[in-house]
Amino acid sequence: MSLQHRSRTSYYSPVTPSERLFTHEDVDGTGFKTAKEYDVEGLTGATDVLFGFWRPDGSEAKEYEIRFYPSHDVAVESGTAFADEATGDDAILDKDEATWKEGIKDRRYFFAGPIGTHGSGGVKAKYGGYVIYGNMIMLCEGANAAHSLDRCGALLAAMGADPLE
């Protein structure tokens, strides 16, 4: 795909340093709807965590978990392992096994099995991946890491975050 045909959101990298310190206000200014604020106890280094939804232009609302840290370095050093644990096909979605238990029910989907089967449904991670941008770690709804990166990128763009910082 040529660069001319790529969307602005696809330019975001999974990890982008930035000196800008993002806050709730930056997220709220996009029309993001906060459903819950999680207790950060046990989430090493985090200062705040929002769970909510946002509707990218022309699409259905998508869910996000946004974790704030005092700096980019703290987000990377303290938050990466927690984000890895909560996203993707290998996500730990059982409260007994998760390192940080707060909000774990909001990080999973329950799906039914094929019609006519009994009890063959399962649990899947809601967040296919995440981005670290500045002092934030954003877990973004998506079937896989690429879908999540696009959705994180759309919200970052709405926040005025420069993808090439």
**Tens of pLDDT along 67-119?**
999 999 999 999 999 999 999 999 999 999 999 999 999 999 877 666 655 66
Taking only the tens place, the pLDDT of each residue in 140-161 is 999 999 999 999 999 999 999 9
User: For residues 126 and 117, which has the higher predicted lDDT (pLDDT)?
Assistant: 126
Q: How many CB atoms lie within 10 A of CB 67?
A: 28
Q: What is the pLDDT confidence band of residue 59, given thresholds at 50, 70 and 90?
A: confident
- Strand, helix or coil for residue 131: strand
- Between CA 112 and CA 110 the distance in angstroms is 7
Sign of CA dihedral 16, 24, 40, 89: negative
Q: How far is CA 32 from CA 18, 26, 55, 98, 129, in A?
A: 21, 9, 8, 27, 19
Taking only the tens place, the pLDDT of each residue in 1-32 is 333 333 444 568 899 999 999 999 999 999 99
Q: Can you give the residue ranges of every domain in the chain?
A: 15-158
- The predicted structure's pLDDT at residue 115: 61
